[in-house]
Structure 1
Amino acid sequence: MAAVSATIVANYCLEDEKAPQIETLLTQFADLSAAEQDRERAYYVSAAFPLFFGPKALIHGSAGYEPQRQVPWSTNCWIQPRVIVCPDSAKQIATALALCRFFHVKFSIHGGGHLQIPGFSSNHDGVVISLGEFDQVNLSEDKSTADIGVGLRWLDAYKHLDAHGVAVAGGRVPSVRVPGLLLGGGISFQNSQYGVGAMGVCNYEVVLADSQIINANAQENTDLFRALKGGDSNFGIVTKIDMTTISNQIWTEVRVYPLTAATQLREALMQYHNAIEADNKASLIWNAINDIILIVYFYCAPVENPPIFQAFYDIPHLTSFVPSGIRTVYDLVQAVASVNEAELNFHEFRTMSSRPSVEVYRAIEKAHAEQAELLKDVEGLVLTSVIQPKSSLAIKQTLKNGGSPLGLEPVGQKWFLARADWKNVEDEERVRAAVRKIVDAAEMTAKQAGGFLPYKYSNYAARDRDPLGSYGEENVEKLKEIALK
């Protein structure tokens, strides 16, 4: 252990005057018995990180700690780590990781904290490595690729790119940050044209478990490159993502409908499923929220009122939340952000996928209504059913050029998300059970109709699910081999 402490000082101490103090501290810890290390670990971790990182290391109880602890989107993820460290370079992340190894302390990576599962972006009494300082956007000279900072939220990434007339196939929710979306595969507005968002990544910079910093792309570490396109954060800490740029000129409209239009909308949705098998530029998001249905229409080209959405145009709607028009991706995401202010809530997600089926859509609507009625006494409850059609063209794009490990079947399908947002922790058990029942109803109906698909989008998966297991046995074994490597 003494040799290890000397190596850490030699490789990672950036201030020579602190080197003797750091080496003494690490040596003292190394000389303790295993039982003493367990007892004293919190003290040594709290002392070591500020020596390496100065004010970038926030210790439990220190000024600035609470705002960082409360960054995660879902309040059930506000846990109490011992240290929150905010590095601003891959070398600093490698240092933080080396210290976590040395002290045998639990650590979590905080990209944006938009998952709703406790323990995924924080932990109790360990170390959180925050990526929030990685906020750069650097375009290549010919504007064909962009280095997108892993600490950026998608709204900010699009704002930077919009000034140069380009975009990337990234996230749709303004507050989601870059790495979490893409490491889970990523749903973008442009999936039909380019596949899942991760297919737009041309290079990852990664800090491995031994603090080595490498690149993964089509020429280097190709097995890792593929694994990162949906294998989640099981292979290292991604510190840089280079993406291929695309046009930022699009058409979009967001309409709000009454629930009484549900039957007409379902019929139009089934027609849309057929239409997108011959047009790879359309995207649609169906959100059934309490007493309304909100549908986002998106087309990856500046075409007014694209004919592919014709089945929806004559259905009476209450209002256009975003009016029909040609705009940029940033304009659309900014419009969503302007009315989508974050609230302090608990959240639950649960997902499934199946072939297009009007029977499944009816089952979802029925189960949603039943559970909403049973939970009407839950303060602040918003229960949302989200339907996201995927054409076989979109899936085939994801399978191109080595593809991803997602194990998707190249058929037309829909990905369904049941989501709940509410105020009080005492309602969690009831709400989670209700969300489970909605998805169970959808899965049972899909299986009866012969259209069930095993894939579960990991960014929407509930804590009791195994999304990686839905990728198929062969993909899972490959991911395990790459993780071990």
Structure 2
Amino acid sequence: MGPSSALTAILDIAGIAADARAAAEKHLVAFDILNEGEKQVTRLATIKEVFPLVCGDFAVVEGSAKFEDLKRSPWSSNCCLSPATIVTPSTAEQVSLILLLIRFLGAKFSIRGGGHLQIPGFNSNDGGVVISMSRFTQCTLSEDKKLVDVGLGLTWLDVYRALDPFGLAVTGGRVPSVGVPGLLLGGGLSFQNSEHGLSCMGVVNYEVVLADGKIVQANPKENSDLFWALKGGCTNFGVVTKVEMAAVSNKIWAEVRLYQTSQNGELLEAMMLYHEASEKDNKATLIWHSVSQGTLLVFFYCAPVETPSVFECFYSIPFLVNIVPPGLNTVYGVVQGLKDVLSADVGQHELRTMSSLPDLDMYKATEACRLEQIEALKDVEGVILTMVLQPISSSVITASSAKGGNPLGLPAQQHQWFLVMVDYKHAADEVRVRKSAREIVDTAVKISKRNGTYLPFIYSNYASQDQDPLASYGPENLLKLRSIAEKYDIDAVFQKLQNGGWLVSKGQTQVNFA
């Protein structure tokens, strides 16, 4: 029996040597004539045989030294699963070939950018294919210095380092080790939120490889519905192989302070004043990190203005030390200064999130609960329990809407995104750790609901495996995302073969799909 047209197309696109083509064709033809039960039994072996033949040196299989290094690249060690092969393409055309081969074999697959996720199965799998974007490492400034081609294999520290000599930045992430694609596809929080909107609103064009192998551009003029969907709609539509972002000014003021935990009550009172002040100043960003050793506050102002008055409510509160001294700075300078403070250590991680309007009662209740849970977990090896408050001014949503909006469904009002993150060493402690994180977030939900300040929004990049962020975008936006996914992926390849992720087909019934 001869090769099918789909198989012939794959081999033609691959453009491989005659001997490799003959060997690949033999394996694929033999697989193609099997029934579904037989394919299930032989799929793993076929993947291991065929991918190196078709993809050459950018496909590595289980057992090689390079494979082991790539397997361990995720930030969370519970995500280090055992795929049959890990492919490291460097062009959209190579990604297209990989997707066509995945479809032909019916192989499950995962997409990995920076690997900064904590949910097993979202960026790896057992027995399938992992598409690693690690070789997309360009960070290229356009000739007019208005656009940046940002590589999908970079971390945000890499991006800011590359742009710093030009006096420019982009609306990227704030944690040094976070990768480019995951942050943007989830919406993203940047230092410049209040002025420019969510991180994804800085994207002016996406290059996307669709499930049928077609390479398309998504921007306000081409495939504008896909452009909208990618700004928070996660990995439902294709593999993003290029992101072009608008360059923004890198002339800023910043300060990072570490406070004693005993001052958190006074700091929370100041936080409420900041919520009010930031509504009148669209250049301010504040991030609150509480850990057992103290509370870290990041003050960031999107203009070279010394000691901005918007942070005045905090200036008189005594602090232990400056992690980043107050003064004129750059985004790279701030992120580099935070590099050793915001842990990038590989280990076990649990994240959980919720949102609310500003609520001092809720802040104080969760702080008390946080201290209780630190005590409850004190015998857990390597445990670090972090609570993060992130004020979001109404200007974040207004600026996002002015640039075409996104699927997140956020109202233009001041609110905050709340995060609990627990780092720990041993998988055996997962149940206890998740229980403590849930206890703190449940307290936040309970108090905010009682006070009428609760918001249903769940930020996908902070969500725990039993939460349902896409459903929190609202029924209308979820239905629109599903419609767009069906339009660009008629056979639902990204819903059926993608191993995990926040998938539109799973909305409202989301579970861990590892």
The TM-score with structure 2 as length reference comes to 0.93
Query: Is the 1:344–1:423 Cα contact (8 Å) retained in structure 2?
Result: no
Query: Which residue identity lines up with residue 244 of structure 1 in the other structure?
Result: A
Query: Is the 1:349–1:461 Cα contact (8 Å) retained in structure 2?
Result: yes
Query: Which residue identity lines up with residue 397 of structure 2 in the other structure?
Result: I
Q: Distance in 1 between matches of 2:16 and 2:242?
A: 22
Q: Deviation of residue 77 (structure 1)? A: 0.5
Query: Which residue identity lines up with residue 200 of structure 1 in the other structure?
Result: G
1:157 partnered with 2:159 = yes
Question: Superposition pairs for residues 314-333 of structure 1, below 5 Å?
Answer: 314-333=316-335
1:203 partnered with 2:184 = no
Query: Is the 1:148–1:240 Cα contact (8 Å) retained in structure 2?
Result: yes
Query: Unaligned 5+ residue runs, structure 1?
Result: none
Tell me the residue number matched to 1:282: 284
Flag the 1:162–1:455 CA change in 2: closer, same or farther, 3 A: same
Q: Deviation of residue 16 (structure 1)? A: 5.0
Question: Superposition pairs for residues 180-195 of structure 1, below 5 Å?
Answer: 180-195=182-197
Instruction: State which of 410, 420, 429 in structure 2 corresponds to 1:427.
Output: 429
Tell me the residue number matched to 2:304: 302
Tell me the residue number matched to 2:364: 362
Tell me the residue number matched to 2:226: 224
Q: Deviation of residue 165 (structure 1)? A: 1.5
Tell me the residue number matched to 1:334: 336
Tell me the residue number matched to 2:28: 26
Tell me the residue number matched to 1:473: 475
Instruction: State which of 253, 256, 270 in structure 1 corresponds to 2:255.
Output: 253
Q: Distance in 1 between matches of 2:234 and 2:7?
A: 31
Instruction: State which of 422, 438, 442 in structure 1 corresponds to 2:440.
Output: 438
Q: Distance in 2 between matches of 1:427 and 1:223?
A: 43
Tell me the residue number matched to 1:408: 410
Query: Unaligned 5+ residue runs, structure 2?
Result: 488-514
User: Which piece of structure 1 moves more, 367-376 or 473-482?
Assistant: 367-376
Flag the 1:339–1:411 CA change in 2: closer, same or farther, 3 A: closer
Deviation string for 1:342-365 (max 9, x for gaps)?
A: 323100000000000101101110
Q: Distance in 2 between matches of 1:344 and 1:401?
A: 36
3-state DSSP class of the match of 1:402? coil
Q: Distance in 1 between matches of 2:65 and 2:354?
A: 43
Query: Which residue identity lines up with residue 28 of structure 1 in the other structure?
Result: A
Tell me the residue number matched to 2:181: 179
Q: Distance in 2 between matches of 1:130 and 1:99?
A: 16
Deviation string for 1:408-467 (max 9, x for gaps)?
A: 011100100011000111110010011001000001100110011111110000000000
Q: Distance in 1 between matches of 2:212 and 2:178?
A: 29
Query: Is the 2:79–2:124 Cα contact (8 Å) retained in structure 1?
Result: yes
Query: Which residue identity lines up with residue 55 of structure 1 in the other structure?
Result: D
3-state DSSP class of the match of 2:114? coil
Instruction: State which of 36, 47, 60 in structure 1 corresponds to 2:62.
Output: 60
Query: Is the 2:112–2:130 Cα contact (8 Å) retained in structure 1?
Result: yes
Tell me the residue number matched to 1:374: 376
Q: Distance in 2 between matches of 1:263 and 1:40?
A: 61
Q: Distance in 2 between matches of 1:19 and 1:426?
A: 46
User: Which piece of structure 1 moves more, 157-166 or 12-21?
Assistant: 12-21
Tell me the residue number matched to 2:53: 51
3-state DSSP class of the match of 2:344? coil
User: Which piece of structure 1 moves more, 6-15 or 298-307?
Assistant: 6-15
Q: Distance in 2 between matches of 1:351 and 1:216?
A: 30
Query: Which residue identity lines up with residue 144 of structure 2 in the other structure?
Result: D
The TM-score with structure 1 as length reference comes to 0.98
User: Which piece of structure 1 moves more, 120-129 or 28-37?
Assistant: 28-37
Q: Deviation of residue 338 (structure 1)? A: 4.1
Query: RCO greater where, 1 or 2, for CA within 8 Å and sep 6 or more?
Result: 2
Tell me the residue number matched to 2:135: 133
1:5 partnered with 2:44 = no
Identity across the alignment (%) = 51
Q: Deviation of residue 484 (structure 1)? A: 0.7
Deviation string for 1:57-86 (max 9, x for gaps)?
A: 111112211110000000110111010010
3-state DSSP class of the match of 1:147? strand
Query: Which residue identity lines up with residue 137 of structure 1 in the other structure?
Result: C
Q: Distance in 1 between matches of 2:462 and 2:340?
A: 24
